[in-house]
Structure 1
Amino acid sequence: MMTSYPPTRGSSMAATDTSDTLATTLQSWLKVDSTSGQEKAFLELLEAELKEAGFSRIDRQEVAPGRYNLLARTERPARLLYSTHVDTVPPFLPVRREGDRIFGRGACDTKGGLLAMLQAAKRLLAAGERELGFLLVVGEEVDHCGAKKSVALSHLKEEGLERIILCEPTINRVVAAQKGMLKFTLETEGVAGHSAFVDRGTSAIHKLLDVLERMRRHDWPTDAILGPTTLNIGTIEGGVAANVFAPSARAQVLMRAVSPIEGLLRRVEELAGEEARVEGAVYNDPVFFDPPEGYEVATVPFNTDATYVSELAPVWLVGPGDIRVAHADHEHIDLSDLQAGIDLYTELGTLALRAQR
């Protein structure tokens, strides 16, 4: 069920963005393939857009050969940065408009939200605000490589950076907390043998199933804000034939965490015992935010770049669009959501810029 948007608070910066103009711009952006690892063409387009908007200082922060983050500012130090990732998941999708709904890969995750941020920034610039900018990163959909690299921009804190408004599709609700993530592989070993003779072999699959069942039945932590820890067994592999005890087996597991990962991983290893090895663990701790008063808030079960960019400044995580259609073959955003996002980003930007004056 869709959630209603926070009320617009009556900014003196009236909305001038027509639906047709927004639709045309977003469709042109969606036609540029920026699948993770192929972000350069879209970043070049954005660099031109940002310069035209009035962001005269634009720096490229190399992340990997041919890949970079984009930092855009005016002639003044940035106290506020609008931020999001520019990469999308595969596959690239045809772009189309159906009424007031725009379809395409990245429509809500996150090119629609980025367009809303740009329009909000233009309003702030027109109102005389200069201490704002953009931090656009690569690789969020795969390994957060751009956000991890952005932490090296510590000079931004020294120059007075006070707030980052980070875009993900949250139906324009400001996020109070996001779950952490723990992903790992369980590996077991057996002894191959004829399955008719139970004393001639040991099944690695049976071991793996026993460990997985212990993990499924375990009483994992629950948080008053984020709710329960969840566990998903994503893949299971093993065995050579139905009449042979499996010599090896493995499973990939992903947990959405509501407690510190260190203790969670330790418990996973205890439950694995001597039957299974826990390999290749990657993780992020849960993140708790400081949403402004008077706005509708939410919690989210998915990972974002907030884990990393929050090292530069406190984060407000919010954006137009619905994450439940992101990554789907019918990914889309409604123009009414986009317009509401522009209004909300304008309000939040104004609030952030005036907070310490």
Structure 2
Amino acid sequence: MPIPALSRLRIAAAVMAPLILGQPVAAAPPSLAVAVQNPDAVWNAVAVDGARVFLAGPRWTGTKLPPLVVVDGAGTPHSYPDAAWNAWAPGADPSRAFVNINAIHRDEAGGLWVVDTGAPDFGGNPLPAGAKVVRIDLKTARVDRIIPLGPEIARPGSYVDDIRFHGDHAYLTDAGQPGLIVLDLITGAARRVLDRHPSTLAPADRPVVVEGEMVMAPDGRPLAVHADPLEVSPDGEWLYYAPLEGPWSRVPTRLLDDPAAPAATLAAAVQPWIDLPPVGGTAMGPDGSLYYTDLAANAVRRRAPDGGVTTLAQDKRLHWVDAPYLAADGTLWLPAAQMDRVALFHHGVSRVRPPMTVFTLYAR
């Protein structure tokens, strides 16, 4: 007999309680625990502030929940920062509502940043005034910064993907129109750099394969995701980035931060860094360890600064874990987004296996 949605949500809340008490879920492998579950969600982004868990997912996945939610102690999701920001509909003003969230990330000053691609459809064009980054003050739950990404930054076909910070600058990737975006946090000015540089392009000979099956785009061709994951080195000297398919490159932040640096100088400064398989997402530890999700293997791995790789967890439930979040206490939050199973990639028929689950794993 099918379990009603509300009952399943309560089951998720019951599962969450042992996690809060620090006790692993009995059915899970050691150290891998269920944190949040919901039968109606498709979440690909997570951030944590104390006991609060923030979750987001793109509109095109078919998720039935608001684009950005905070989960309370009972496991119930609520619109965040409020209902109005989550109420965008076609024809409405896209400048002060979330059109299509692809990433959320915390800064060190108590802010939650939201990356809004501004395009309601996968592969579509950003709406005028739709592409933006939004900062929410976590103390007041109020939006205190909206930085539009105009048409010269978020171009037709752009898919502004993720964000990281260093000093007075933020860096974003564009997975649709391959390149990087440098954002001056003081002035709000944005610049595109390394447009269509080889380091930002998805290689044609590295398909995305998940559980032995090549992921196909809606147009019937192998899915190609250009500049996607990125991290800043702990000393702030390097930006690491890659297409989803790999390989990774690095470039000095001092050149990225300098609007006077010639494009040719910046391009010449790009260096190969590491070669990883297709990843769903990454997180950088304070010691320089790179935590990444290996899509083909349903695995979470840690690459140490010396290059050694350790598998932290491998489990069929870790299907397309996207954008992990590393909390200050060393806990990795892992949204098993099942992105390759959404209806968009299967001729309108969803293969997502509910409930959507966010796992935790102690990484250090």
Task: Tell me which protein shows more helix as a share of its residues.
Answer: 1
Instruction: Give the strand-richer structure, 1 or 2.
Output: 2
- Greater Cα radius of gyration, structure 1 or 2: 1
| More RCO (CA 8 Å, sep 6+) | 1
Please report the TM-score for the alignment, with normalisation by the length of structure 2: 0.28
> Normalization by structure 1: what TM-score?
0.28
